[in-house]
Structure 1
C-alpha cells in the first residue's frame, strides 16, 4: 500500500503533465488551419483534457479537504476524551493562565473567568518547598518536559493531588510561546498510600506493645492480677478505647456468668472490678461468644447479638461501640476481653481485631496458669513458662524473618553504594537498627528459655577476669571475693553471654545468702581441669572424659535438701518479693544447652557450693571454629546450591547473596519442590529453613541424607522447635545458622561445608 501523501503527489504530477499538454496542443492548433479535420480533432482532444484536468483538480481538492476534516474530527475526539479524564491548562511564557478545560475548573472549584490571566499560584497549596519549585522551573526553562506529583489547593481550601505532565509550546518559528499542562487527579491513590502507611505503622506498634507486655515485670513474676491490670491499661492506651476489661467465665447452678476481673477506665486512669453478668439475662450475648472469634459492633444499638444490653448496660455507661474477643482454655470458653467505646460511634479496623485476638490468646495463657494453681508449684510454673516460650518464640520467628530481610538487603545495599558516603551512612544505620532488633528478639527468647545459642570456643578464665570489677561492685566491699584460676585451663564450647549471666546470677544468690554474715562473708570462685571417669560421669549424668569445672563456694546460710531440689524450678525463690525465681532456672537451661551439668552441695549454717561441669572443647571442633573466624578464607564459588524457605523474601535474599558470590543458585518454597529440583539438577548443597508447612527442614534433611548422601546440608532457622529434631544428627544441629544471620557467616559455613 502506498502512503496517502505519496498518492497525492503522483496525482499532482499527473495533473501538471495534463496542463502542460494542453498548452502544447494550443500552440499546435495555432499553427494549423481553422477548418481542417486535424483542427477539429485537436480541439476536441484539448477540450477533453481540460475537462479531465478540472475534474482531477476538484478530486485533488476534495481529497485534501476530506483528510483535513478527518484530522480535525480525530483531534476533536482526542480532546473530548482528554477533557473527560484530565485537567488541562495552558499558560504564556510568564506563567499566566491562557486556557483551562472544564475538568480543571470543576476540580479546582474556580470558574474559567477567575483563572484566566492568573498564575498557578492561585491553586498553590504551600505543600512543596522552594527547592521543589526551583527545580521545576529550571527544568521547564531548559526546554524539558516535566512530570511529577503536585499537591494543589481548591477554592474551598481542600487539597487534591495531581500527576502533571508539562510541556513547552513553540510557534512555527520554534519560539517558546507558553506551556501546556495535562494533570491526572491521583488524590484517591495518595489517600490509599497514606492509609497503607498508617496501617503498617499501627501493626508495628501493636507488635511492639505485645513484646513489651510479655516482658513486663508482672508477667515475669507471674502476678495474675498485675498481668490483667497491665494488659487492660496497655490495650486502652494503644487503641484509645474508653473502657477495656477482662471477664472470667463461671459455671453456676442457674447457667453461666461472667465476672469482671479488671476494668480500666481511660478517662479516670484507674482500675476497678466486680461487675457480673449472667447468661440467664443475656442469653444471646453468651451464645454469640461461643460462636464467634470476635464480636465487632460499630453501633451497639443495631446489632441483634447484643440487643439485650441496650436497655440498661449500654445507656448506663454511654457505650456506642464494642469489640469483644473470647478466649478459651482446653477448647472451652474461659472468658472475654472487652473493648467498649463511648461517645461517638467507632468503626473497628481489621488490624485492631487481629491485635485484640493476639491479646486474647495471651489471656488464654494467663488463665491456663491460674486454673492450674492446685498443681505442684514447680510443674505449674514450668508449664506457664513453656506456654509463654511458644508465644514469644512464634513472635521471634516472624520477627527474625523480617530482620533477616532488612539486615541482608541493607548489607547488599552497603556493597552497592560504597562510592556514595551519605547513602552508605543511611544503609549502615539500617543495618545497625536491624542488629538491635535481633538483640531484642534474643532477649525475648532468653526469657522463654528458648534462646538460640551463640556458642563458640571460650576461655572461662578470661571471662572471669573480664568480669571481676563488675562482680566486686555488685557484691559490694562487704563480701570478700577471691578467685583461684587454674593455669592452662582447657577451652570449652558455650555461649559467652550466657556464661556471664550465669556467673552473675550465682554470685548474686550467694550474696543474698550471706546478708547476715558480716565482715566474714566470702565467695570463692575457682576453675580446674578434670578427667571424669565412667562411674563419676554416670552419677553426674555426663559423658566420661575431659571437663572443665567452674566452682562457686560461699559461707552463707546454706540450704536444706528440700530447697536444693527446687532451686532450679522456674519461679521458685526463697527471697520472697525480692526475687523472681528465674535466675537459676536460666543457669540450668544454659548448662544443659552446653552439654554440661551442675552439682550443688550445701549445709545449713555452713554455706553452699555450686559446681558447673563443661566438656572440653575438642581440637577438631577448634579447627572448624578457626575456619569460621578466618577472614582470609575464599568465600566465593561456582557450585550449585538450592535454597529452601517458605518465606519468599528471605529465599530471594539468600539467593541474591549467594549468586553475588558466584554460586549457581536454585530456590524452592517447600520441601516437596526442593526434592523435584534435586531430581533434575546436580545440587551440591542445600540450605533449608527448619520451620516450614507440611515437611519441615528436619524431615527434608533426613530424606536427603538417606536418598542423596553426597549432598551437603545447612540448616537455618529463626526459632527451632523440638518437633522432628531427632531425625538429624548432632553435627547438623550444632552447625545450625540462626536468623537473622550475617552474610559473611553464611558464606563461611557454606564454603566450609563444600570444602569438607
Structure 2
C-alpha cells in the first residue's frame, strides 16, 4: 500500500500538468490520484472565500461524474466547529465522520444523504497561507485513516498549491505580456506623435531659416538701394550738366559766337562730367555685382568647394550699407586662403546674423563701434573667431541666447531667431559648433568651429 501511494504521488509530482498553469487539468489529476490511492469514489477541492467565512466546492469527482465549480458552499456561521478545526490549518481526520466533533455538524445535511462515513481533509497552502482543502470522502463501512494515507492526502494538497503557483505565474506572465504590449503601443503612439512634432518642428525651422534669409536679403536690398542712389544721383546730375553745356555750345556755334576759349572750357567740363559719370556708374555696377554674388551665396543650398575668406569678404561688402548706416567698422583680418567643401549660403547667413545681432544689441553705449573676424585652420577644423567691442552678453542670459524666440529686444522688433538660426545652421547643416567666449568684458565673442568638410 505504501509503495502504491508513493508511486502515485511520484507520478503526480513528475507530471507536467502540475506546472502548466491549468488548474482544472491539475485538479483533475490530483483528485484522480486521491481516489485511486485512497480507494475512494468521492473527492473534491474546496476553496475558502477571501474573508474565510465560507468554503465552496471548486471541483468534485463522484464516481464517474466530475463537476467543476459546484454550487456547494458551507458557511462558517452554520458549521462553526468545522471551521474552528480549519482555522488550526491542520488536516481534519475523521474516522467516524458522523460522530466526530469536527464533522458531525454535516451529519444530517451532507454526510447521511451522500452515505459518507469517513472524511480526510488536507489543507491546501500557497505561500504559507491556507487557501482551502482537498476533501477525501469514504462511503460504506467506516474506515480508519492511516498515517501514510494522511501524509499522501497532505502531499496531494501541497501539489495543488504548486499548481496554484504555476497558474499565478502564467497569469502574471499574461498580464506582463499585456502590459508590455500596451506599453509598446503607447511607446509607438508616443513615438509617432514625437516624430510628427519633429517633422513639424523641422518644417517650421526650415521656414524660419528661409524667412530669415529673405529678411537678410531685404536688409541688403534696402542698404544697396541707399548706396546706389548716391553714385547714380551724381551720374544723373553730371549727365544733365553735360547735356546742358552741349546745348549751350551748340547755340553759340549756330549763332557764330563760339570762340576758342569757350570751346576749350566746354571740352574740359565735358571731360570732367564724363569722368564723374563713368566713375559713379562703375561704382554702382560694382555694388550691383557684389549684391548679385552675395545674393547667390545667401540662397545657395548645395554643398560646394569654395574659398572661405572670399565668401565672408563678399558677405561683408554686401553688408557695407548696413554697417555704414550704423557707423560700424567691420574688419576681416588678413590671412592665408582657406578652401573647404561646405555650404557657402549657410556661412554667409551665419555671418550676417552675427553682425545683425551686434547691431541690434551691442553698441547702444559704444562710440567707436568695431567688429573683428579672424579665421584659423587646422587639418581637421576651421575656426571663425567673431568679436565686437560692445556691451557683451550678460551672465544670466548666456544659457538662453541660442533658444528660439528668446530676445532682449522684443520691444524694438527683435524676433529671437537670429542666434537660434546660427546655432541650428552650425550644428545641423555644417556639423560644427559655436561657443560663447568666457571673457565678455570687451564685447561679445563667439568661437565657431566648422569641419573642413560638412
Is the TM-score greater than 0.5? Answer: no
Query: Structure 1 length normalisation: TM-score?
Result: 0.22
Structure with the higher helix share, 1 or 2: 2
Structure whose CA Rg is larger: 2
